[in-house]
């Protein structure tokens, strides 16, 4: 049996919500949720049968504590925790070497996009582990394997590079879809008719590279169509359309 059986969480956002739910379902007891007093924090604590605490001093000393806060707050939070408390933070970008030194501090980074209201199965989500303490790193690996079959060791440099690529894959892609949804509304076009296209765009990547899968007017160097479509756009949407079209044309040549 995995030696870590009880954990606490600092934070109650998307990552903390999904991880605490996942651990609780697998029999790992979530004992405490810490955060500024709010309905969301108290609600999450109740959902996973944990105690809510509004003071960091109320967290159990010596028990693994997950730090799920924005990158620029991690160091400050670590400083406030008892030095005997094992720490795992969930950032994809924060360098481990830049944090206060502890005998048991490490990274537990799930490479996935999380939203509180969207159910998510973590069993195949990649989880990346790092610690300068080999024994503690092994403990975090074993804990990760409780909720996922896809657990790996990655140092801060590699993790930061993965995070940067993930921004392109998820954040930028999602933002472009946001603009597409706005354009659909503005032009009285049903976005539902575009969902099969969106799904096939992603599914196709199981069989060919994005380079091979590219289609459309810029791929064909159809400058007339590009010019006509761009003429109906303004502001940032036109800038994005022009820039991405230019990038595609330059990628494939005239």
Domain locations in the chain as residue ranges? 6-154, 160-252
Please determine, for residue 3, whether its predicted confidence score (pLDDT) is greater than 80: no
Cβ-based neighbours of 66, under 8 Å, separated by 6 or more: 7, 8, 9, 10, 11, 16, 19, 88, 89, 90, 108
Fold adopted by 6-154: Rossmann fold (3.40.50)
Mean pLDDT score of the chain: 94
Q: Is 86 helix (H, G, I), strand (E, B) or coil?
A: coil
Percent share of the chain, pLDDT over 70: 99
6-154 and 160-252, same CATH topology: no
Question: CA–CA separation, 148 vs 126, rounded Å?
Answer: 7
Per-residue pLDDT tens digits for 23-54: 999 999 999 999 887 888 999 999 999 999 99
Assess whether pLDDT exceeds 80 at residue 1.
Answer: no
What's the first-to-final CA gap in the chain, in angstroms?
Answer: 61
pLDDT digits (tens, 9 = 90+) for 106-129: 999 999 999 988 888 999 999 999
| Count of alpha carbons within 13 angstroms of residue 224, beta-carbon side | 0
CB 28 within 8 A of CB 63: no
Enclosing H/E stretch for 100: none
Helix (H, G, I), strand (E, B) or coil at 87: strand
Q: Which CATH architecture has domain 160-252?
A: Orthogonal Bundle (1.10)
The confidence score (pLDDT) of residue 117 equals 87
- For 194-251, what is each residue's pLDDT tens digit? 999 999 999 999 999 999 999 999 999 999 999 999 999 999 999 999 999 999 999 9
pTM for the model stands at 0.90
Whole-angstrom Cα distance, residue 59 to residue 33? 8
What is the C-alpha to C-alpha distance for residues 254 and 225, in angstroms, rounded to an integer? 15
The conformational region for residue 135 under phi > 0 = left, psi -120 to 50 = alpha, else beta, is alpha
- Of all residues in the chain, the percent with pLDDT exceeding 90 is 92
Contacts of residue 22, defined as CB under 8 A and 6 or more positions apart, other chains included, come to 122, 147
């Amino acid at each position: 049996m995995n030696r870590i059986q009880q954990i606490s969480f600092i934070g109650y956002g998307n990552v903390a919500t999904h991880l605490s739910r996942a651990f609780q379902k697998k029999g790992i007891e979530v004992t405490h949720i810490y955060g500024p007093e709010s309905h969301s924090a108290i609600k999450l604590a109740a959902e996973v049968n944990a105690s809510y605490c509004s003071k960091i001093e109320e967290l159990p000393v010596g028990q693994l504590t997950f730090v799920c806060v924005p990158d620029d707050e991690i160091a400050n939070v670590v400083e406030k925790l008892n030095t005997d408390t094992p720490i795992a933070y969930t950032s994809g970008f924060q360098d481990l070497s830049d944090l206060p030194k502890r005998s048991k501090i490490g990274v537990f980074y799930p490479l996935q996009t999380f939203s509180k209201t969207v159910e998510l199965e973590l069993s195949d989500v990649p989880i990346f582990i790092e610690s300068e303490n080999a024994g503690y790193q092994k403990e975090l690996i074993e804990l990760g394997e409780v909720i996922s079959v896809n657990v790996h060791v990655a140092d801060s440099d590699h993790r930061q590079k993965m995070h940067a690529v993930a921004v392109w894959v998820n954040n930028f892609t999602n933002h472009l879809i946001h603009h597409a949804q706005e354009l659909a509304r503005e032009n009285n076009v049903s976005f539902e008719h575009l969902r099969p296209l969106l799904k096939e765009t992603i599914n196709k990547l199981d069989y060919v590279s994005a380079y091979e899968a590219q289609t459309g007017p810029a791929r064909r160097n159809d400058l007339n169509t590009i010019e006509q479509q761009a003429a109906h756009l303004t502001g940032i949407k036109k800038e994005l359309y022009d820039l991405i079209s230019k990038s595609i044309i330059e990628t494939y040549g005239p």
